[in-house]
Structure formats: structure tokens, C-alpha cells
Amino acid sequence: MKLRLDLHIHSCFSPDSLVSPEQIISLAKRKGLDGVAIADHNTVRGGLAGFEVNSDPDFIVIPAAEYSTEYGHVVGLFLSGEIDVKGRKPKGHTLSPTLPFEQVVQAIHAQGGVAVLAHPFQSRLCLPAHVLSGPVSVDAVEGFNSRAGTRTNPDANAFAAKCSEEYNLPALGGSDAHLSWEIGRAYTCVDLTGVSRGDICIKDSHCLVKQAILEGKVECFGRETHRAVVPLTELVKDYKRKTYSRMPYLVLQIILALLGPMKGKTKAE
């Protein structure tokens, strides 16, 4: 059996998304996915809410969270609760405080979770080796993120794929969806050869998927999304904060983005 899982989706528990966990599950099923990881900014509340409301034993909801560290974002998969790590307070329009990388990874592992370096080259060209292979390092890399190429590095996914090969780390796929139509634009194909749906319960499915990820029995696929999603997401964030001073600027950015090239890179299954 092979499962198609979008392992990076934001819900309304993030400051820049309006999509509820219930909507995520419904839309993901409609798009033919077998499961999702709901990973909100610095909180697992959305993932836990999605896990609780999911009534379909054949659909997998993985509680997760995306943490901002000094070396970029780290997604913790298979979390059971919030991690107790303190960071610097955010300034201006940053989404969340910067947390110490090693403490975040250790806290994820303490819960039996999997630490994934999300869109590692979205805004940078290199990373310290210890982040990928040190005593306290990630378990996997996001090899395809639908939003990764929308910012400063259009080759971010190619860099990430090469990085996963060089460090022999599993490459996962996630849409990084903040808007409903982004769900499923990237996903991870998990190989559970020898297992059939009727053989497993929800708890077993989490264990099997986690084991498959750690053993590298995964492939990532997807399509890059349009760069207009960046100002659109900022617009959502300001709307939720009830601050509207940037609205004309953001609307202009959306229009300019839509006037640009529409087609992004694709990695097909």
C-alpha cells in the first residue's frame, strides 16, 4: 500500500490562515489524499483539533507544528502537545519568535516526533552541517515545498533535494498551504508495502508512517504555487489582526504577481 500525504498545511490556528481543520480534512479527501499533517506556526493546537474531529478511520491526521529557529523552520510531526521552548519575542510583522534550533529538535524527539527541516533554502543558499548531521539534527528535509520558490530563491526545491541526497536524509513533500486551494499541491508518497488498509487502526497508521519516514521509504512530489500567495497570505494576516494600513500595498503586490509568469516547477509522480 502507498499513501499520499500532504505533510505541511496551516489552519486557522496560524495567524495567516483562515482554513479550519475540518475544512482541511474535507478538501484533502476531495483531492484524493490519504492524510495530512496540520502544522501551524509555533503551536500544535490545529493539528490536535484536526486529529480530534477526524472521524474517518481510513484518513490520517498527523498533529504537527512549524517552529521558527535561527536556522530556519522546523516542522515537528507526530506531536502530542506543545513543546516547552522559549525564544525571542517577535518584532514588527514576523509570525513568531525565533527558538533555539537544538532545543526545538530535542523537544520534538522527546515526544517521539520527527523533526523536519522545512523549505530549508527558501531564503538562504547554505546551512551549517550540524543542522543536518550533528548530534542534535533533523530526521528529514522537506524536499518539495510548493511555496519554497516564491520568495528569493527560485531553485529552493532543487537545493533541498540535493541536500537530502548529500546527507542521506528522507525527502518529504508538503504544500505549505495557507489558502484552501493550495492543499495537496505537494505531497509525500509513503511506501507501506505489505500493509493493507484493513490491517491498521489510526494509532497503527501513525507508527507505520513514522517508521517509513525514518527508514526513507518516501518520495516527494508536487507543483510550485504562484508567487501571488505570499502577499495574499500577508493580507490574511493583517485581516486577522485588524490592521489595514498595508492593504493597498499588498493588493498592488498581488496584481503585479498575477501579471508575471504563472507556471512554476513541477515534480510529477
Tell me the pLDDT tens digit for each residue of 84-113: 998 766 555 445 678 999 999 999 999 999
Structural domain contains residue 162: yes
Q: What is the pLDDT of residues 191-242, one digit of tens each?
A: 998 887 766 766 688 999 999 999 999 999 999 999 899 999 999 999 999 9
Residue 159, pLDDT > 90, answer: yes
Provide the CATH number for the domain around residue 193: 3.20.20.140
Structural domain contains residue 248: no
Structural domain contains residue 251: no
Question: Which secondary-structure segment (H or E) carries 234?
Answer: helix 229-241
Structural domain contains residue 265: no
pLDDT recorded at residue 221? 97
**Domain extent at residue 182:** 2-226
Structural domain contains residue 256: no
50-64 average pLDDT score: 96
Structural domain contains residue 7: yes
Residues 75, 81, 86, 89, Cα dihedral to 10°: 70
CB-count exposure of residue 70 (10 Å: 0-12, 13-18, 19+): middle
Structural domain contains residue 63: yes
Count: domains in the chain: 1
Structural domain contains residue 15: yes
* Angle made by CA atoms 107, 77, 134, in degrees to the nearest 5: 55
Residue in the structure block whose three cell numbers are 523536519: 116
